[in-house]
Amino acid sequence: MYICKKVCTDVLQNDKSCIDQLNKYKRSLSLETGLSAEIANIVKLFIEALNENVFKQRQLAEMSLAQKERTITDFTISLIGRTKAGKSTLHAILTNQGYDKIGMGKQRTTKYNRVYQWNLLRLIDTPGIGSAEAAGRTDDEIAESVLGESDVICFVVVDDSILKDILEFIEKVAALNKPVIILLNHKENIMSDVKFKRFVEKPSDWLAIKGESNLQGHINRIQKYADDHGFGTQ
């Protein structure tokens, strides 16, 4: 953690030195010619953009470091996904508690991050991304708030709704160089007697589904998106 803080400080100092040099160069330009005035304006715009970008990145880095510092002794796994993807169910199974937080087909079962602590392991269940707001913060913002302190991000996705917003969120996490595990949750209505009997007799039949809707088809889609956007494994 000390090394991270030192690196951040060094980067900020180097950026400040660069901005100071650019300001010095801008002041040295003669404004008598149109060319010099144009160059001065370009330098001014560049300095403003650099200042704004450095400020934003510094805020993000400081927030992430502060989060990680609070939980430096823990190994943190965060469960992220859309509403009704099965995050709370998985959280309850892994921790053997919180079954009352599982929704029966309801929207927004989890409104805030729920943290389970066991020895040095932390498991965080987040609200469904892409849904409504809670206490003035979007669920995306609530979910994103745990990214800095997470050691592993576990995306729980349903095989009938792997939408673009999920893939974009995965891309956002990949940009943070966080390990990502994608859990594909198969969803199928087996309430009818015939379907239920068939499921009991052959519970793994869904794995043999052909076409783009089968397991490998979903894996291929996720892999292609990752490769096309520069964060794939190939």
pLDDT in tens, 36-60: 777 777 777 777 777 777 767 676 6
Assigned domain for 56 exists: yes
**Residues 53 and 101 reside in one and the same domain:** no
Mean pLDDT, residues 10-15 taken together:
69
Whether residue 144 sits in one domain with residue 41? no
Domain co-membership, 191 together with 100? yes
Distance CA 96, CA 116 (A): 10
Residues 106 and 184 in one domain: yes
Pair 88, 110: CB distance under 8 Å: yes
Query: Residues 9, 112: one domain?
Result: no
Mark which of 52, 70, 88 sits at the end of a domain: 70
On whether both 58 and 86 belong to a single domain, the answer is: no
> Is 160 in the same domain as 138?
yes
| Euclidean distance between CA atoms 76 and 126, whole angstroms | 13
pLDDT confidence of residue 8: 62
The residues, ordered by sequence, that sit 6+ positions from 216 with a Cβ below 8 Å of its Cβ are none
pTM for this prediction: 0.59
Select the more confidently predicted residue: 11 or 116: 116
> What are the CA-CA distances from residue 18 to residues 9, 47, 52, 213 (Å)?
14, 9, 14, 52
Does residue 234 lie within any of the structural domains?
no
- Rounded CA gap, 76 and 137, in Å? 23
Which segment, 37-46, 62-71, 103-112, is predicted with the most confidence on average?
Answer: 37-46
- Inside any domain, residue 233: no
In this prediction, residue 134 carries a pLDDT of 46
Confidence band for 198, pLDDT divided at 50, 70 and 90: confident
**Higher per-residue pLDDT: 132 or 161:** 161
Question: Of 45, 70, 95, which closes a domain?
Answer: 70
51 and 98 in a single domain? The answer is no
Q: Which domain holds residue 58?
A: 2-70
> Do 60 and 26 belong to one domain?
yes
Given pLDDT bands bounded at 50, 70 and 90, which one contains residue 67? low
How many structural domains is the chain composed of? 2
Strand partners, 123: 77, 116
- Give the torsion through C-alpha atoms of 179, 107, 112, 159, to 10 deg: -10
Q: Is 123 a member of any domain?
A: yes
Decide which of 94 and 159 is more confident. Answer: 94
| Cβ contacts of 185 within 8 Å, gap of 6 or more | 85, 86, 156, 157, 158, 159
Based on the domain organization, do 80 and 143 belong to the same domain?
Answer: yes
What's the average model confidence in pLDDT over 59-81? 76
